[in-house]
Amino acid sequence: SFLSHLILFFSHGCTECPDKCDYRCSATSHKKPCLFFCNYCCQKCLCVPSGTYGNKEECPCYNNMKNKEGGPKCP
C-alpha cells in the first residue's frame, strides 16, 4: 500500500541513509560532497551499494542516476 511505502521511505530515509553513507564515504578525501550526494541518492533510491566504492549493480536506481554532464551522480 501507499502508506506502507511511505513508512518504509521515512524509516529507511531517516535512519539508514546517514549510517550507510558514512561508511560508503569513509575512504574518500572528498567527504562533504560524497555524503551530500550519497544521502540524496539514498533518499531517492532507498538503497546504498555495499563497500566504500563500486558494487553499484546492487542498486540499479543509484547506479542509473546521472549528473548534468551524464556522469554518475551517486558515489
For residue 12, the enclosing domain spans: 2-64
Residue type, 10: F
Q: What is the pLDDT of residue 16?
A: 87
Identify whether 70 is part of a domain.
no
Residue 22 falls within a domain, yes or no? yes
pLDDT on residue 51? 96
pLDDT for 36 equals 96
Does residue 75 belong to any structural domain of this protein?
no
Establish if 72 belongs to a structural domain: no
Q: State the pLDDT at residue 65.
A: 94
Closest alpha carbon to 46 in 16, 2, 3: 16
Q: Show the cell assigned to 54.
A: 563500486
CA–CA gap between residue 34 and residue 11 (Å, rounded): 22
Residue 7 has pLDDT above 90, yes or no: no
Q: Number of folded domains in the chain?
A: 1
**CA separation for the pair 49, 51 (Å, rounded):** 7
pLDDT at 69 over 70: yes
In a domain, 69, yes or no: no
Q: Is residue 29 part of a domain?
A: yes
Widest Cα–Cα separation across the chain = 41
Q: How far apart are CA 34 and CA 54, in angstroms?
A: 14
Give pLDDT tens digits for 23-63. 999 999 999 999 999 999 999 999 999 999 999 999 999 99
